[in-house]
Chain A
């Protein structure tokens, strides 16, 4: 749901400020709001980034005073994977759906270039899921389980010499996507003086690389003071423990060494209490808000621009989502139609070609047969000629035969007459 942050100064100028002549009762509004949100329950998502064995799971157990039953991971994983678990916690009447996401195998590979990619992808995926839900036609944002990462605890190796390059690169990539709180892990290996130097080294490195870690808000008077003082202690040097040792007359989370016992909740031993105070008791809601109002909005803006949506069209006139969407849709449909037409066109051309081909073949065939026919006709004529000739010859022969017969007869007759004429 969109935040309603009224710029009070601006609004107040145009509206009347009235005095109440009695108790109306809307001062219960914050209570109504709180009751509603308590009824709905709260959601908080923590992402822990750190190398294997830095005590991430132990710290989570210590922070939330419970045991999350996580299995320690080995060092030989080929890629960084993220494992998220959701737990339902309840404290008095407040229910909290806590999701803890661990990076498994972070920093173990020889080539760490892709280490933070898995993390960035995970965070983006949560934003994307929320964005998709928000863009749906039938949506139920109030019932949606918000999986966006609200805070990222970055565990720094207690080398004492500053940040590793992967730390800097990773935090730089993440600082616009999530609230980062850097933590010095296993701080019981660093002495107090070394710690001071280490912290200032880290802070200067972060500053010089332009990494924006999460600043505890100082605009609300009730928490401004404590937040400002805590801001100075960042990064928190923490120790976590799942073991309890009897100190005095109570059991405290501690780590027992031959030379002494480190008490997790002892402010002079480590900053655990400060972290818990800041993370959970004071600023949880603020982190949620910042995730929603700043990081998510940034992601959404980038994503919508990537999809081609703008608020203002080429004429600098404001364009609504619907307009842009309609324009996109008609473009899209046009494209599809065009593709279809192209394909049809292609087929038409193909068909025409083939038709022409076949016609040619047909024509050739007909030509061939015409030729044959002509030849045939000629032959027939010749035959007729021959036949006629023969007929003629036969007729002539017969005539001659007859003639001969006649001549033959008449010649014999002629000789008889000659004998007679001599008597005169």
Chain B
């Protein structure tokens, strides 16, 4: 590889932008390629750093100028405009070392070797290809789409929820025309939403704030969390339905991404209502517990209170949202410091007070001013930074990948099991139906063969029985027949004997039976005649 290409790659890896002139003036053939490469080489890092650098001052420059700068930086990263490159270089130089110092991050990333799929070898590239520009493309599209976020605030009335929301987003989300939850308490717990569109540096955020006026207000608060659970699950159901449609168009994400739970600053631990609420919602939504009105707690009391709360949370096995660690060492160090402050003890304020010539948000007391944005006074900055500046996207991802998937799993597992909770197969319901069909077919086949077998067996049995009875009857008949024949034979013999005897007598007496019969017949007739005559004669004598 040529020296020029090599140097370009080095520069690219160090994330330094070469001066536009030097690169353009190189070789006539590849200036377009080269500068494009180099400028494209600036991933979101420098631009991101530049943007944050340019707008770190509290008084934001006019939006149009920012947009211009942003567009210019975008253009610089994708075209070989020398002027744009210079602008970008200037912006990069102006980037301050805020926690968004992504430049260092990118360098760290390049050093970190991550081999997710061991069996695929990472190929070595011999030159610049350009897909390192992918993050830029993603960035572009994301900004164009705009972002949305749904934040739920839950807590008893008077804990400063509206004030905190207004402080966090530096906008009058709650105002006189749109009063906060404490002003809207009705007889039963309501769950209400209000949507606002916030724009900052070309990024559009549609923020939906869900509040629950009347939480914990009634005398009997049993089941006051039920409407909230119903609301969260309704949003999941809406999303599930939209996602499952045949014709899917824009699937609006109205799911609750984060729930700020306000704990009253009693200093003694969680109330039963707090525990009950968190136990019921921790597997449905990301819960971030927040100690409200913490300017009533001294630092020691606050530390003690926090420990107490964390103990009770782990005791009751409540899973609050955990801010994940990042790989980057520096970033995770910063994150750790802020993470250790969970649960965040916050103070909110809508009024700006002047302190030492600076204008700060704070609460003015006779004994001093509690500054909202002072990390030594309260954890407001920690909450805001963790919630908005670093983990907003992660909250949405956890909601989508964990809570929503759990809901979906539960909902769909109910289908197609006929109430049998034996096995939740991980097939989609349609494949499950196919499998059932196949199972049923095999079952039927088996049943069929079984029934055939039984049938055959029974038929054979019956046939056998029939045969047996037939032979039996036959036998008996034969027996009887033989007996009869025997009797006939005996009779025959007897007759023959008799005949013989008769014949012998007839022969010996010289007279047959027939003659005797005849004679007796005659005699009988004569006797009758004689008899008559004899009687007559006797009568003559007298």
Contacts and interface: CB of A to CB of B under 8 A. Distances in A.
Is chain B a partner of chain A in the same complex? yes
B429 A135 contact: yes
Given A14-B195, A65-B129, A97-B120, 14 more contacts: A2-B242, A17-B196, A18-B173, A24-B388, A25-B389, A28-B48, A34-B139, A64-B123, A66-B125, A92-B132, A97-B117, A248-B29, A277-B36, A339-B440
Contacts of A286: 137, 141
Given A23-B56, A63-B129, A132-B431, A96 B134 contact: yes
A394 B498 contact: yes
Interface string A268-304: 0000010011001111111001000000010011001
A16 B206 contact: no
**Chain B: number of interface residues, binned into ranges:** 35 or more
**Chain A: number of interface residues, binned into ranges:** 35 or more
A283 B263 CA distance: 48
A222 B250 contact: no
B4 interface: yes
A86 B123 CA distance: 10
Contact of B246 (A90, A289, A301, A404): A301
Q: Is the interface of B mostly helix, strand, loop or mixed?
A: helix
B56 A18 contact: no
Contacts of B413: 137
B411 A285 contact: no
Nearest to B37: A281
Contacts of B203: 26-27, 29-30
Given A137-B413, A265-B33, A6 B129 contact: no
A377 to B, nearest CB: 10
Contacts of B122: 88-90, 95
Contacts of B5: 250
Interface stretch (A174-182, A189-197, A202-210, A325-333): A325-333
A311 B241 CA distance: 10
A342 to B, nearest CB: 10
Contacts of A266: 29
Contacts of B430: 135, 307, 325
B134 A137 contact: no
A400 B129 CA distance: 148
A343 B441 CA distance: 12
B86 interface: no
A108 B444 CA distance: 48
Contact of B29 (A23, A263, A369): A263
B502 interface: yes
A41 B115 CA distance: 11
B463 interface: yes
Interface string A90-130: 11111111000000000000000000000000000000000
A8 B203 CA distance: 13
B415 A65 contact: no
B131 A91 contact: yes
Nearest to A279: B130
Contacts of B133: 280-282, 284
A336 B71 contact: no
Interface string A315-348: 0000011100110110010001001100100010
Contacts of B416: 325, 329
Interface stretch (B273-281, B286-294, B469-477): B469-477
A381 to B, nearest CB: 11
